Chains A and B, each alone.
Chain A
């Protein structure tokens, strides 16, 4: 079974500050890992994904995430927050062996960016 834990349901940063959203996963087989973003009144859209090609993954809008197997983590970062980054962020895990595309989501982290 696989699972995802996002530490912190709400994160607040100042505009221009570092954004760090934490995600830890549990998987018995090598995982695929994703970060999705949900803007108000919209569906989720992909920010970035890890598929074992490189441990540091760059996504859209200046976000990146690093896969750390020893820590079972896939934290999302952005060097400088922008007001438009305010949204809810979801970490998700799938695995490389299960057929059926079972994607398991974390609880979500609401990011607030203060001027």
Chain B
């Protein structure tokens, strides 16, 4: 089944404790992206990647890092999490970078709480 898989789905952590949210897709998609969803704010893009070793900042990149060493994986790294990073995170992918009409396939989401 074609899908985007995120782990963990739920995580409670403490301020300053580094964590990684993994994202993997099995569709051979070139484009991958991370979003955070907050009530009343919709989805905001954190980082995106057009292809392996190519990443760029989205609208809210502060406090996050990403890497794209393999086409299928796009982990989101929080080096020193803070409470304002408590949110619902979505990874998404699509087959056609650079084409505005491409359709995103989303993962099921990772709910992160930072105490």
Contact = CB atoms under 8 A, between A and B. Distances in A.
Interface of A: 4, 6, 9, 32, 34, 36, 41-46, 49, 51, 90, 94-108
Given A103-B104, A105-B43, 6 more contacts: A34-B103, A43-B107, A46-B103, A90-B43, A100-B97, A101-B50
B100 A44 contact: no
A79 to B, nearest CB: 25
A82 to B, nearest CB: 23
Given A43-B106, A44-B104, A96-B100, A101 B40 contact: no
Interface of B: 4, 31, 33, 35, 40-45, 48, 50, 56, 58, 90, 92, 94, 96-104, 106-109
Nearest to A34: B103
Contacts of B42: 4, 6, 90, 105-108
A34 to B, nearest CB: 8
Contact of B98 (A34, A101, A104, A105): A101
A102 B106 contact: no
B101 to A, nearest CB: 5
Given A100-B56, A101-B33, A108-B42, A41 B98 contact: no
